[in-house]
């Protein structure tokens, strides 16, 4: 949901963060907002958690862990960037339709789709060789 211009103005910081812990607090808050307000972000977190559980079960190699971790975080980052773009468009257009706003939102969704497809390719490359013998055993 986009920021309302009429939000309470108390505790609104407008200057730069000078302390690391303050910056970290705001970063964590941004993650909480994305998790609470964005259904797709929660969905991607759940799929990422499932990938971690399956990776632990199959005891994947360190190199495979690097690929899985990269794929998970890439999808989450792209989803977050898409959400940022959507919120900026909504704020700028006051939630009214604008053809350029539609372009931005569609391209943001495409970025998430491409990163999700990449993650699926990584998962297939790592997990199909591990799952295939189990499937063959069940079918025979």
Positions at the binding site for a divalent metal cation: 38, 86
Rounded Cα gap, residues 132 and 137, in angstroms: 9
Give the residue ranges of the annotated binding site: 26, 38, 79, 86, 105-106
Catalytic residue among 10, 37, 64, 79: 79
Give the residue ranges of the annotated binding site for ATP: 26, 38, 86, 105-106
79 is catalytic: yes
The residues assigned a catalytic role are 79
């Amino acid at each position: 949901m986009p920021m309302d211009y009429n939000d309470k103005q108390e505790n609104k910081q407008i200057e730069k963060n000078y302390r690391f812990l303050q910056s970290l607090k705001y970063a964590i808050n941004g993650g909480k907002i994305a998790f609470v307000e964005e259904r797709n972000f929660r969905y991607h977190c759940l799929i990422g958690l499932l990938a971690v559980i399956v990776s632990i079960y199959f005891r994947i190699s360190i190199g495979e862990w690097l690929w899985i971790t990269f794929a998970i975080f890439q999808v989450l980052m792209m989803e977050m960037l898409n959400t940022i773009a959507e919120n900026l468009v909504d704020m700028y257009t006051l939630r009214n339709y604008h053809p350029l706003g539609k372009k931005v939102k569609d391209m943001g969704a495409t970025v998430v789709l491409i990163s999700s497809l990449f993650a699926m390719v990584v998962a297939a490359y790592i997990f199909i060789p591990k799952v295939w013998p189990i499937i063959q055993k069940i079918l025979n």
